[in-house]
Chains A and B, each alone.
Chain A
Amino acid sequence: MKKFVFSVLTVLLVFALAACGNDGDKDSESKVSASSDSSSEKIKTDISSPVEIDFWHAMSGNHEIALQKITDDFNSSQEDITVKLVNQGSYDDLNTKNMAAAKAGNLPALTQAYEDWMTNYIDHDLITDLTPYVTSDEVGLSKEEVDDIVQIFREANTWDGKYYGMPFNKSTQIMYYNVDYFEEAGLNAPTTWDELRDAAEKLTTEKDGRKIVGLGLENSTSSQINQWVLQAGGNYLDEDSGKFLMNSPEGKEALEFLNGMFKDGSARLAGEDGYMSEPFARGDAAIYFGSSAGIPYVAAPAKENGVNWAAAPLPKGKQAATAFAGTNVAIFSSATDDEKLAAWEFIKFLINADNTTYWAMETGYLPVRYSALEKKEWVTFTTDHPEYGVGEKQFDAGFYDPRLAGAYELKNAVAKVIDKVFLGELTEDEGLKSAEEAANKSLKK
């Protein structure tokens, strides 16, 4: 897995160097590492009059309450800047809302954004390069502070060596399992694919007329198929050459592994249940792969139904691989210099060690700083609630979705095909072949 991260890094470096060689009209790229010299980049570093900025987000429920608390703290911590939270519904809503606002020219200063949205926004010059802010002597971050941000999250926010965002609500896939069922069957939490299949088979039963499935997976499994392919030791997409690599023996192994379990009934997708968290919390699934951000959504109903559960890292195939998802915060270029600076100040506050810890404890998202992981409150908290500590154990196995132009369409197009394989409409081989065709078609566009 480290290899993968390393190769991504190399790619980014090559890009950065190539960009530097370009007439050198903007040499900010090189400043990512050399934070000392920032005099040439002109950004505003003090706020002349009070500013109010909007932050468009897609957080709801507990997540929204925690975000509001941090924002209120920020607003009362200083006098000049007021941040107003605007809930835009779901992530998809937020993205379309951003696009519409870009068109109408009424974008906010700050937004949450996934990496693939950001690729698109960068293409249309919609978001600001944050590098000058990061490297600024007056308002920037020190080298130690930059390095303190979890590496994989930092990389995910870097395009051609420039920062376009900062990680905010980052989650990862974890394995939830029903402790009672495992104890009854005398099993331990699986750590490998073989153990996973074995446990899923043994735990698939019927109890008091209720069907219990061994492994419950989200309906979005097909769009997260890269995780399984990487676990099988394969690769999904090479960001460098833009080549789709899933049509490989490893890709086939991943599909056969999943499909085998779907066919013999030891695994199922959420299907009509929408999300798997509730059936799991009701005791209808023994194992459930889900987002760490779903912890509160599992915990509450599980408590109500008296279901004992725990969480563990995902079992590994040939290697461990865990998708890291969740959004970053980015600043729109349409904001005024004052607004940009205000937004940057807020970002720094939002992801400082204290706030990222508070955020993680309230929501199940991960702290985005290494120093937060060592904080006493976090250590005590994860000792009391071990499920919240699972995510960080997987940092080394982490990867994020490809960010090439067209990657979003590619992911969807491939997911459509993989769904057909899961539903038995296509065989694994046919699926891989048409997935490759679909992928190449969306890359060409």
Chain B
Amino acid sequence: MQRAAFSKGFIYLVLIIGSVCMLLPFAWMFITSIKSPGEVMMMPPVWIPEDFKWENYKEAWSMAPFARYTINSIIVTVLSTLGELVTTILAAYAFSRMHFYGRDILFSILLGTMMVPGEVLLIPNYVTLSNLGWIDQYQALIIPWLASIFSIFLLRQFFLGIPQELSYAAKIDGCNNFRFLWTIMVPLAKPALITIVLLKAIGSWNSFLWPLIVTQSKEMRTLPVGLTSFSTEAGINYELLMAASTMIILPMIILYFCLQRYIIEGVAKAGIKG
């Protein structure tokens, strides 16, 4: 019995040390963000600042157009997530419930392209978008991301798991494909859809390389891209840089703790299946 208690204690110890390592960067970010410039450069480090300098947030916020960055990030995340949701539902339904010529070939081709790293697409897509005159516009940030093969695959698998008998019953009741999809399949597929939405939203909110390349003016930047240019302006004022980082990370953390059950389950499922 004693040995069991000992090993329990050991498990807790390891997990707690690990948790501290995971959380420390976040804590340190926040502590630094409310320090005075003098305290930032103090050694040994100051753990609790003398006064909490909340005005650092105001200063960081006004040093760069963070309001605009935030609006851009929200617009891009919301529109590309909604758009992807619609295209995914329609395509997954066709691939799982409709019979048409070339279905299996088409599906395998799409799956095959998932092997190709996104970086390969970067340059031709840039050329396409500049031919369309979309560089530095919302279209460039949103339209290429309105469909995802991975999501289609995920949802198709889920749809396949829904018993066929349902659709026969519905058809007998005179329900057409389209109504059947939206009134029966979609509500049933809620868990899979939540996963798709959350993974997409997180990915879109955090994405960096693409917005970096297709935007040039400050007005079009999203938060991550804006933050990198702010980091140059902030220079050695780490309290401001940390305040800006906190402003970006905090909403994500709050959202995460509200929705973590879905997010974690989603990753576990999508991961295993994908």
Contact = CB atoms under 8 A, between A and B. Distances in A.
Interface of A: 86-90, 93, 96-97, 100, 103-106, 209, 272-275, 278-279
B143 to A, nearest CB: 16
Contacts of B232: 90, 274
B190 to A, nearest CB: 42
B217 to A, nearest CB: 6
7 contacts: A89-B216, A89-B229, A90-B232, A96-B216, A100-B136, A273-B235, A279-B236
A87 B229 CA distance: 14
B210 to A, nearest CB: 15
Contacts of A88: 216-218
A116 B226 CA distance: 27
B203 interface: no
A105 B229 CA distance: 27
Interface in B131-171: 131, 133, 135-136
Contact of A103 (B43, B130, B229, B235): B130
Contacts of B131: 103-104
Contacts of B135: 100, 103-104
A104 B218 contact: no
A89 B217 contact: yes
Nearest to A273: B236
Contact of B216 (A97, A209, A279): A97
Nearest to A272: B236
Nearest to B232: A274
Contacts of A106: 133
Given A103-B135, A275-B235, A278-B235, 7 more contacts: A86-B217, A88-B218, A89-B229, A93-B216, A100-B216, A103-B131, A274-B232
A307 to B, nearest CB: 14
Contact of A87 (B218, B235, B236): B218
Contacts of A273: 235-236
B130 A100 contact: yes
Pick from A97, A100, A275, A278 the residue with the most CB of B within 10 Å: A100
Given A93-B217, A100-B216, A278 B236 contact: yes
Pick from B43, B131, B216 the residue with the most CB of A within 10 Å: B216
Nearest to A274: B235
Contacts of A105: 133
Interface string B92-133: 000000000000000000000000000000000000001101
Contacts of A279: 236
Contacts of A278: 235-237
A272 B40 CA distance: 14
A278 B235 CA distance: 8
B229 A90 contact: yes
A61 to B, nearest CB: 9
Contacts of A274: 232, 235-236
Contacts of A209: 43
Contact of A97 (B133, B217, B229, B236): B217
Nearest to B218: A89
Nearest to A209: B43
Nearest to A100: B135
Contacts of A272: 236
Pick from A97, A105, A209 the residue with the most CB of B within 10 Å: A97
Contacts of B236: 272-274, 278-279
Contacts of B133: 104-106
Contacts of A90: 229, 232
Nearest to B135: A100
B223 to A, nearest CB: 15
A272 B133 CA distance: 38
A195 to B, nearest CB: 29
